[in-house]
Chain A
Amino acid sequence: MDIFERLQNLDKGVFYILMALAIAIPTVKPVGLPVEVTDLVRKTHDFVQSLPEGSKVLIGFDYEPGDEIDLNPQAIALFHQLAARKIKIVTIASFPSAPLFAEECLQVLAQYGYKYGEDYVDLGYYAGGESTLAAFGTKPTSIFTRDFLGNNVASLPLMNNVNGMKDFSMAMTLNDGPTNGTGTHEWVRQSVMAHGTPLIMGTTGVLAAANMTYVQSGQCKGILAGLRAAAEYEKLTGKIGTGTVGMDAQSMAHVLIVLFVILGNAAMFLGKQKARRVPGGGAK
């Protein structure tokens, strides 16, 4: 077996170890590479900044364990910005475990003196995806009579003036896809198209490409895609968190994968060229 064949058939353990090192070394010894803020994240931040002080926003926690590393930092950075402008927050969740993520992220509001029931409410989980969101958008109390903590929703001052999606100045979905929950397309349909409530999205990297169409068409006012967007948002709000901390490792891993791609293709092309030069044989 010649060098090109050997290169093309490297043991997968080599890649696993290199990948692990590319993530582990910058995690333990961070370099602090600077994160530049992109236009898309700045546009999203500016839109949130334009919301009236004291208005209400609806945040959908629509993700499962595995995506919290991307979406929790986005939620926390957003909550810092909303709390600084005294904007009230209502959260709902379309995955069974998502209310626990909401509870974790909402803890940052304590430092702003936010009171539960008056300034923020966690309504908890709803089953049924888009249909339930549609029902909530017209009449929230038909879906939630109790919040996540077991309180009677009618007794919460913040919910007294919430009669539908129209009462929110903005909706946001923190989303990892529609499987078993409410996806981004569903949120566009049920907040923007049905009630005219502006929507921004926080998504994992996987969903970013598909949802750019909504941003370009103006149906969605902004999008935060992945850990990078969380890091940029943290820079804009001035509250550095786990988004920024992970960027060094993200950099190394991405560069390594690009190197793998280049190496693999180089081995393939050089192998083909060598095969063509061999007399009486090789590729036609």
Chain B
Amino acid sequence: MKISGDIGVWVGALTALCIYSVLYRENPAYRLVENIFVGASAGIAVVAGVQTFQSIAWNPLVKGNVVLVLPIVLGVLLYARFVPGVSYLNRIPLAFLMGASAGVAMRGSIESQIIGQISATMIRLDNLDALVIFAGTVLSLGYFFLTYKFGGAYTQAAMGGRYFMMAAFGAAFGNTVMGRVSAAIGRFQFILLKWLGLG
């Protein structure tokens, strides 16, 4: 066992252990590290924001693109929510954000998530796998007719859709476990190999 002499490694290992201490019970060490993490994350976001602002707005503005004063003013208006009496002004930049986002997302969704997916389901139904995918897509789509209550065979078909979705969620669960266990492996490697020098 060769314990690391690097102060950074010690800090990293001790912060991880403080977080893991919550598995026993909530304690001051866990809360302290949690708050430090929130402070650091917020600080990193602000630093990244300042650098991005310089790149996308300030530098072009200083070079003569004075029109950019308008989005900067709109951005400042976002903070009007903290000022009593004029807090309604923050709706203007929010409307800009929401309108543009809705437009950008919508225009691509039609092609990528509807037409693209439907055509992939229906073209070349020449093997069992393709037929199963077709059946699964149709049945699980049928499950989402929530505004009208059909009966009889339709209800059975909707149940079939549920079964396909349960299989999909089971696959998602299996992969989620993989992802979370990987995070734990990373921390254990850091603590056991890098900090304590075991193995």
Write the residues of chain A forming the contact surface with B, with a CB cutoff of 8 angstroms. Answer: 13, 16, 19-20, 23-24, 27-30, 66-70, 96-97, 99, 124-127, 129-131, 134, 142-146, 148, 185-186, 188-190, 192-194, 204-210, 213-214, 216-219, 225-228, 242, 245-246, 249-250, 253-254, 257
The CA-CA distance from A219 to B109 in the complex, in Å, is 13
Nearest A residue to B106, CB-CB = A189
Task: Give chain A nearest CB distance to B49 CB in angstroms.
Answer: 7
Binding site for A on B (CB under 8 A): 23-24, 41, 44-45, 47-49, 51-52, 54-56, 59-60, 100-101, 104-105, 107-109, 111-113, 116-117, 119-120, 133, 168, 171-172, 175-186, 188-189, 192-193, 198-199
For B108, the chain A residues whose CB sits under 8 A away are 186, 188-190, 193-194
A204 touching B60, Cβ below 8 Å: no
Distance (Å) between the CB of B12 and the closest chain A CB?
12
Q: Are A27 and B105 in contact (CB under 8 A)?
A: no
Contact between chains at A205 and B178 (CB < 8 Å): yes
> Which residue from chain B places its CB closest to the CB of A98 in the assembled complex?
B48
Q: State which of A96, A145, A146, A217 has its C-beta within 8 Å of the C-beta of B47.
A: A96
Closest to B55 in A: A146
Inter-chain contacts of A190 with B (CB < 8 A)? 108
Q: Which 7 pairs from chain A and chain B are nearest by CB? A: A189-B108, A217-B120, A69-B186, A205-B179, A96-B48, A205-B178, A205-B175
Q: List 16 A-B contacts (CB under 8 A).
A: A13-B24, A27-B189, A30-B199, A125-B52, A131-B104, A143-B55, A145-B55, A145-B56, A185-B109, A204-B182, A206-B176, A217-B117, A226-B182, A227-B182, A246-B189, A249-B188
* Complex-state Cα separation, A19 to B109, whole angstroms: 41
The residue in chain A whose Cβ has the minimal distance to the Cβ of B63 is A145
Since A204-B182, A228-B178, A254-B181 are in contact, a sample of 12 more A-B pairs with Cβ atoms closer than 8 Å, ordered by chain A residue number, is A13-B24, A96-B45, A99-B48, A124-B51, A185-B109, A193-B112, A205-B180, A208-B172, A213-B117, A217-B120, A226-B179, A249-B188
- With A131-B104, A193-B111, A209-B172 known to touch, is A146 a contact of B59 (CB < 8 Å)? yes
CA distance A214 to B117 in the complex (A): 8
- B54 → chain A closest CB, angstroms: 7
CB pair A204–B179 under 8 Å, yes or no, is yes
B52 touches A253 (CB 8 A): no
> Is the pair B185, A27 in contact by a Cβ cutoff of 8 Å?
yes
Do A246 and B175 have beta carbons less than 8 Å apart?
A: no
- Assess the B199–A29 pair: CB atoms within 8 A: yes
State A23–B181 Cα separation when bound (angstroms): 8
Q: Is the CB of B56 within 8 A of A143?
A: yes
Whether A130 contacts B112 by the Cβ 8 Å rule is: no
Q: In the complex, what residues of A have CB within 8 A of residue B180's CB? A: 205
